[in-house]
């Protein structure tokens, strides 16, 4: 549901047998499939609790990206295992935004080269792989060894983090940009800009519907940032110190 009247006053977290739980007054938060909403890290629980606490008179579920990601991880509605999640993420390499180039107009082709080449070069050096780019509608020919390297790298993440990684990839339409963002090589703003390069080029040339463009841009930044934060919080083994909670 897009919105619901806020039915609680206070939000808190508590530690249970399976991890950290979210309390809405005296009610335990549940997933859409009626499972107990339990997350693996204290920091993630605090972030989710903050989403619920920040809701005003109505609960706007479409703004609660971390809660949505946790629900997906807990319910696993598509019933995929770790191998399937990894292969779905790596498959994006075949259609990666930054690998598809245009030849015309020349100004856009140059913009893609100047903006996308550095991130591709970074990824090739970072993971010791060959990626390349192509102006063919078929896209670049990604070597099997490159795919296997990314499969092995992604296998180092747990199931929760992989759900977040796939979410970021889906937003940016790019495995390369997503890994650059998650590895802290580029910022959320930069990743989103690079993922929308052609659209931004057209807007600069022809103008835009201001409110629609601004909304889409902010929403994409919010989703990419939430997904990246989710990955980091699900990969973090240490708990947040109580002093930080008090501050």
pLDDT, tens only, 45-103:
999 999 999 999 999 999 999 999 999 999 999 999 999 999 999 999 989 999 999 99
Long-range Cβ pairs for the range 142-149 (8 Å, 24+): 142/93, 142/94, 142/99, 146/93, 147/90, 147/93
Q: Once rounded to an integer, what is the mean pLDDT over residues 12-27?
A: 95
pLDDT, tens only, 152-185:
999 999 999 999 999 999 999 999 999 999 999 9
Domain ranges, ordered by start, for the chain: 4-75, 82-235
Rounded Cα gap, residues 90 and 99, in angstroms: 14
Rounded Cα gap, residues 134 and 155, in angstroms: 28
Asked whether this chain's domains 4-75 and 82-235 adopt the same fold, the reply is no
Query: For 84, left (φ over 0), alpha (ψ -120 to 50), or beta?
Result: alpha
The CATH fold assigned to 4-75 is ATP12-like (3.30.2180)
Model confidence at 43: pLDDT above 70: yes
pTM of the model: 0.90
Write out the CATH class of domain 82-235. Answer: mainly alpha
């Amino acid at each position: 549901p897009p919105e619901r009247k806020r039915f609680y006053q206070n939000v808190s977290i508590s530690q249970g047998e399976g991890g950290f739980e979210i309390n809405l007054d005296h009610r335990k938060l549940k997933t859409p499939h009626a499972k107990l909403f339990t997350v693996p890290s204290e920091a993630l629980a605090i972030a989710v609790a903050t989403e619920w606490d920040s809701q005003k008179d109505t609960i706007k579920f479409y703004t609660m990206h971390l809660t949505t990601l946790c629900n997906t991880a807990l319910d696993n509605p598509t019933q995929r295992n770790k191998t399937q999640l990894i292969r779905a993420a790596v498959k994006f390499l075949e259609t990666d935004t930054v690998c598809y180039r245009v030849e015309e107009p020349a100004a856009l082709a140059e913009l893609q080269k100047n903006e996308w080449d550095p991130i591709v070069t970074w990824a090739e050096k970072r993971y010791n792989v060959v990626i390349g780019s192509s102006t063919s509608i078929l896209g670049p020919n990604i070597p099997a060894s490159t795919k296997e390297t990314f499969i092995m790298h992604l296998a180092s993440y747990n199931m929760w983090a992989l759900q977040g990684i796939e979410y970021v990839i889906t937003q940016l339409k790019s495995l390369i940009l997503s890994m650059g963002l998650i590895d802290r090589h580029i910022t959320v703003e930069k990743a989103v800009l690079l993922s929308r390069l052609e659209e931004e080029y057209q807007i600069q040339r022809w103008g835009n519907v201001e409110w629609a463009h601004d909304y889409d841009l902010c929403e994409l930044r919010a989703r990419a940032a939430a997904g990246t934060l989710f990955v980091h919080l699900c990969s973090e083994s240490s708990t947040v110190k109580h002093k930080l909670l008090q501050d």
